[in-house]
Amino acid sequence: MTAENHLKTPAGKPRARAFSIPFDGEPGPWNAITDVPGVSVGYVTLVSGDGPLKIGAGPVRTGVTAILPRPVPDLATPVFAGIFSANGNGELTGSHLIEEVGAFNFPITITNTHSCGVTRDGTLRWLSRALPEAIETAWGLPVAAETYDGFLNDINGHHVTFEHVAEALDTAASGTVEEGSVGGGTGMITFGFKAGSGTASRLVGWQDKKFTLGVFVQSNFGRRHNLTIRGRRAGVELVEPKVVEGTPRAEKGSIIAIVATDAPLLPHQLKRLARRVPLGVAMTGGLGYNSSGDIFLAFSTANPQAATGLSGQLAQADYIPDTDIDRFFDAVVQATEEAILNSMVANQDMTGRDGNFVPALPKDFLVKAFSPAQ
């Protein structure tokens, strides 16, 4: 029996499982990145105005997403991490430090391309209030990522503010996670359909323990004809409905994926998890085209003492051996694929700047393609 929150979002929008789409693996209770204990997600969504673009006035179709890897009092404690860029036409701040030391601390934010600096700096402003002692002693290099929403949004109007960043961070919570056109994903497009924010999780057994792995995506990539849903070449069948361009659409697609787990894994292993995200993207038809920024971050909440480290003291960390890591690779691919499809299914048509129109993935197609009665 499928849990109700696996079928619909908190706002009542359908998720992919509502259409009997068959997925591999066992999801967690929320089927979300928040199934990983201590991880929370917050959003601010900005939607206003219609008609012709007036830079600075709108129309606005954007927002900011905040992902906290630990509860607020523990945010200064680093998490082991690894990153992978499948195609580098994008931005993820803090990446150089992660490559250097295999860890980061503080929240992650995701927004539109031209607001990435605002969310990075806004995180530091928020930290100076929420954790003033930590911001004095830790490296002030928070993770901020972006994808492009300029087809629907007044991206050069810079509508995301420091106050919006603080609100997303303050309201971050565990439990069910809203999906679709929310937060940083508000103005995003995937395979020519409305997309945005999506998440999924998998439970991974090892010895007598069960660990959780969750994925969150801001999905904004792909061309219609490549869309694949559980092996079905759906994009070839779905010629309609089409995107309507009041102004020509630039090919500026990207995907950001955040992988979280409570499994004890070392930085080199987390980098290996991040490298498997593109396989989940490919399951949906994403091929990493030239204009796409495909950047992925994986972190583990385990081993907090080792990740912190104390000068003059020997640090010790538990970790699952590489010989047993394949089941975690499976979980990354499975959860990434489902998170992308959730970002599309939990969505509606959207009209933005200059009358630019992006249709939602047709629900009747999903019913016909995957309903057990068919």
Q: Which residues are catalytic?
A: 254, 292, 294
Strands 108-112 and 103-104: unpaired
Cis, bond preceding 27 (omega within 30 deg of 0): no
Query: 230: which 2 tokens?
Result: 């559980």
The contacts of residue 210 (CB under 8 Å, 6+ apart) are 203, 204
Cis, bond preceding 69 (omega within 30 deg of 0): no
- The residue assigned the tokens 């359909």 is 193
Residue type, 130: A
Tell me if 344 sits within 8 A of 195, measured CB to CB: yes
Query: 295: which 2 tokens?
Result: 């950047």
Residue type, 85: S
What totals of helices (H) and strands (E) does the chain contain, helices first? 10, 14
Tell me if 206 sits within 8 A of 169, measured CB to CB: no
Strands 143-147 and 108-112: parallel
Q: CA-based diameter of the chain, in Å?
A: 66
b or e along 358-370 (b: 16 or more beta carbons within 10 Å of the residue's beta carbon)? bbbbeeeebeebb
Residues in the chain: 374
* 334: number of Cβ within 10 Å: 23
Angle at 270 (CA atoms; ends 268, 271), nearest 5 degrees: 65
